[in-house]
Amino acid sequence: MPVPTQMEFFVDPGRCIGCQSCVQACSECDTHKGHSMIQLDYIDRASSTQTVPVICMHCDSPTCAEVCPADAIKRTGDGVVQSARKPRCIACNNCVIACPFGVPKMNTGMHLMMKCDMCYDRTSVGKKPMCASVCPSQALFFGTRAEIEKLRPLSQPINQFQFGNQSISTRVNLMVPKAARIEHLDVTAALHEAPVGRDVLDDLLMDNMTADREEE
Amino acid sequence: MNGRDHDRLTIAPDRRPDADQPRWRQDFPIDWPQDEYIARRDFTKFMVLTSFAFAVGQLWILAQNYFRRRRRALPAREIAAIDEIAVGSSRIFNYPGEHEPALLVRLDESRFVAYDQRCTHLVCPVIPQIEAGRFYCPCHEGLFDLLSGRPLAGPPRRPLTRVRLEIRAGRIFAVGLEERTA
């Protein structure tokens, strides 16, 4: 039974509180054999508590599958990119390196790549993925488009990404503020920018130092 | 999704339609249903080719048998003069090669039988027990009938290979082998 088309994943990084619930819940799922497939990324750990849960975006042109030399990564008809097929995976790490989102994980002990597969054992029978079912702030939300519009009137879901020359549309949506008015996210554009948080912090520090000197 | 066929969901990185994609993309599809289809097709291909190979193999064996039968005209070789062998005695001779021992037994005045000496179980040399009317293989207690060479007891299942004999002017010649399965 496929995952229903109208059920979609919405990731809202702005709501993430870094509680690690999703990371723990993920390891409970049977399809990845007790290993957590979620990575909780810190945006700029020195100056901010902001975290982002990274789940598979399930691209319509999966780079992981494109680079697989063993033809092991497959996408089911409902658009979910599955973990590598065990008889084929040669543990070469190509997918791990190639994925623009950094999703696939190599289990060298099992000689197998495993990745977030939207908890296929659960979503294919109409349940929510583990992470979405535990997320206390619903930064990971699994439901219909109508539901999310009602719940987040100020945000809009987008699923278009730009990685250099590669444009990707995904099955999973990212919530961005409606005010931003963007059609796609250019992910690599931010690579060479200094993080915003540090600039602010540096300024504060400088201000304090100059203030101290003035007092002296 | 997006109105596309669920079996062909994935879009190539260059985003051109399937018709413009190189041929290998059809053989290594990313979509699961397509991959299953390819796997089934490969299996069918394998089955057809394998059965074809088996059929050809059978014909090859047939042809080989035909040619072997035509080639198998063994030379006649003299064993002994009739007078040299007493009634109820035996003699070992080599036929058809130099190291292939066979047994000649004189049953009575006019009847001779000859068999390859190798037991059909594990090629131990059989011992003639002419009074008892049998050949005896000491390795595993195998017994063969003296008159026909058929197995009587023990592990052997096939009869001894018979050596065809011909008597020409008072001399006995071995002229051929007769391999039997039963």
State pLDDT tens for residues B17-41. Answer: 888 889 888 888 999 988 888 888 8
Distance between CA atoms of residues A62 and A172, nearest Å: 13
CA distances from A49 to A16, A18, A39 (A): 10, 8, 15
Name the residue with tokens 């054992």.
A121
User: Measured between CB atoms, does A60 come within 8 Å of chain B?
Assistant: yes
What are A61's two structure tokens? 């042109």
Nearest CA to CA, how far is B19 from chain A (Å)? 16
Among the listed residues B179, B160, B167, the one whose alpha carbon sits nearest the alpha carbon of residue B102? B160
Q: In chain A, which residues have their Cβ closer than 8 Å to the Cβ of B1?
A: 5, 78-79, 171
* pTM score of the predicted model: 0.61
Domain ranges of chain B: 5-71, 77-178
Q: Average pLDDT of each block of 10 consecutive residues along chain A (216 residues)?
A: 89 93 92 90 85 93 93 92 93 93 91 93 93 95 94 93 89 92 82 59 61 59
Indicate the fold that domain B77-178 takes in CATH. Rieske Iron-sulfur Protein (2.102.10)
Give the minimum alpha-carbon distance from A75 to chain B in angstroms, rounded to a whole number.
Answer: 5
- What is the interface pTM, i.e. ipTM, of the complex? 0.76
User: Mean pLDDT, chain B, as a whole number?
Assistant: 88
Query: Is pLDDT at B72 greater than 70 in this prediction?
Result: no
